[in-house]
Structure 1
Amino acid sequence: MDYEIDDLDRGIIKALSMDGRMAFKEIAGRLNVTEKTIRLRYKSLVENKILEVVGVVNPITLGLKSGAIIQIKVGPHSISKVIELLKKIKGVRYITLTSGEYPLLVQTTAPNQEEITETINKLNQIQEITHFNTIVQLQVYKNSFDYF
């Protein structure tokens, strides 16, 4: 990637991270540049895959009130296969490769604890998973998209 972001790009990203529907005119006013400048920069940020504006759903409003973070150990040479199997589990919303004792970490959301248990039962059926540690989320205090 050859595109390097500058302070203006950071300002645009910060504004949109607070309100993804903020008008270019308002962003321009906040950053003391023209609306055309914001429009062109926004287009470059999107084209260079630095910025993607999406609707973020509050899971609680959809009835998804329970969550868990699950650390996963897998057998030798099984990470890719396990990742593909995890992607197919409905409640799994986030999968990442990590360092340390547990090479995979997933986050799951569900309407209730029973469905978290169902997800855990699905993990138990994946033979390549050798061990996992489940951390039930009791309360979320911050969930930010502000990177600057």
Structure 2
Amino acid sequence: MSYADLVESGLLDDLDRRLAHALQLDGRASFSTIASVLGVSDQTVARRYRKLRSAGVLRVVGVPEAAALGQVHWLARVRCVPDAAAAIATALARRDDTQWVSLMSAGTEIVCFVRAPLREQPDGLLLGQLPRTPRVVSVTAYRLLRRFAGGPAGWPGRAGVLSAAQVAQLRRVVAEAPYRPEPGDPALLAALAHDGRADMSTLAAASGRSESTVRRRLEVLRSSGVLYFDVEVDAALLGYPLTATLWLTVAPSALESAGRALASHPQVAFAAATTGPANLVANVGCRDDAALYAYLADELGGLPGVQQVETAPMIRTLKRFGTVEPV
């Protein structure tokens, strides 16, 4: 099964969806645990996951939380001259400090997430490298202040297929613990960003530690909130082929309530309060133009305090969670 075959078939089937939901709840749950919850055999779950992953359709990734590592997230809008956006987006995707890179509507704008130290270096991405490129018209940076949707909670559009009892069986109970960094952690986090379900021997080799040490550090990273696991899957295969970024201008007094409202909408995969010209940003997935229009007119239109909404459909995502997508 190839990615193209799955796209042509239209949607993931019921077992694929239930598997994706289970992995969202615990990205490192054993195949036997997931199989028991889903009511299928271990071999079926393992075979289905490997087939989806090898086809480039579904992947578990370890995602480090910026704040816990003394970093911040910036969202950059890069406007380019015509015909330059694809090349610039490809170059951005190759950078270590970008976490998500997408080409937007009209093909002249790029949106990317950037992880940066609290104090940016003079030669950092956000302080001038891009504006020196003559093909870049402008760069607008938004610092993320508070996340309302996305992150460890995942996207409701990807979840919702397991029962409450199944969710309870898979949901991981975490006792918060303080995080004290150790020298091998960056290498361990990098390996998990490549494959969140990598086995202990692979992680030990990548980080230069013993398997017992890796197992202990992995638990520390998770319990301290430094690391969570997410599931990459094409929204089109979940029935949401139209994805867009919404830039909202909201009255400050309504920012909290608007953010919480967005987090309750099944269309919203990500929402956060930001600095910059717009103070609330969201990524949404819809079935078609009519569904997006209905969402803008009815759901957003009814939110108190929303003064302006700019909608930018995504054309292509080149990088997700630090991994460059195959061309």
Please, which of 118, 129, 135 is the counterpart of residue 128 of structure 1?
Answer: 135
Say if 1:102 and 1:115 are closer, same or farther in 2 by CA, change over 3 A.
farther
The 5-angstrom pairing of residues 63-82 of structure 1 reads 63-64=70-71, 66-82=72-88
Tell me, in whole angstroms, the C-alpha distance in 2 between the residues paired with 1:55 and 1:45: 18
Of residues 17-26 and 36-45 in structure 1, the stretch that sits farther from structure 2 once superposed is: 36-45
Partner in structure 1 of residue 101 of structure 2: 95
Distance 2:93 2:44 in 1: 39
Give the aligned residue type for 2:52.
L
Summarize the alignment of residues 1-148 of structure 1 with structure 2, pairs less than 5 Å apart.
Answer: 1-3=4-6, 5-64=12-71, 66-99=72-105, 103-115=109-121, 118-120=124-126, 121-144=128-151, 145-146=154-155, 147-148=158-159
Counterpart secondary structure, 1:5: coil
Q: Is the 8 A contact 1:67 1:116 kept in 2?
A: no
Measure how far apart 1:67 and its partner are: 1.9
Does the CA contact (< 8 Å) of 2:83 and 2:107 recur in 1? no
Find the aligned partners of 1:132 and 1:101 in 2 and give their Cα distance: 15
Structure 1 residue 117: deviation in Å? 8.7
- State how far apart, in whole Å, the 1-side matches of 2:133 and 2:90 are: 11
Question: Secondary structure of the equivalent of 1:33?
Answer: coil
Equivalent residue letter for 1:2: D
Amino acid at match of 1:73: R
Q: Quick one: structure 1 residues 85 and 24, their matched pair in 2 at CA, closer, same or farther if it must change by over 3 Å?
A: closer
Higher mean alpha-carbon deviation, 123-132 vs 45-54, is at 45-54
Q: Deviations over 1:12-47 (max 9, x none)?
A: 111112211101111111111122221222222223
Alignment partners' CA distance in 2, 1:83 and 1:35 = 40
- In the alignment, the residues of structure 2 paired with residue 134 and residue 117 of structure 1 have an alpha-carbon distance, to the nearest angstrom, of 16
SS at match of 1:41: helix
Per the TM alignment, residue 137 of structure 1 is displaced from its structure 2 partner at its CA by: 1.2
State the 1:11 CA deviation: 0.8
The CA distance in 2 between the partners of 1:138 and 1:111, in whole Å, is 15
**Gaps in structure 2 of 5+ consecutive residues:** 160-327
Instruction: Report the secondary structure of 2:51's partner residue.
Output: helix
More strand by share: 2
Does the 8 A contact of 1:28 with 1:34 survive in 2? yes
- TM-score for the superposition, normalised by structure 2: 0.40
Deviation at 1:48, TM superposition (A): 2.2
Q: Runs of 5+ in structure 1 lacking a partner? A: none
Q: Which residue type is aligned with residue 16 of structure 2?
A: D
Scaled by the length of structure 1, what TM-score is found? 0.82
Q: By how many angstroms is 1:90 displaced?
A: 4.1
- The alignment's C-alpha RMSD in Å is 2.5
Q: Output the amino acid matched with 2:76.
A: I
* 2:61 partner SS: coil
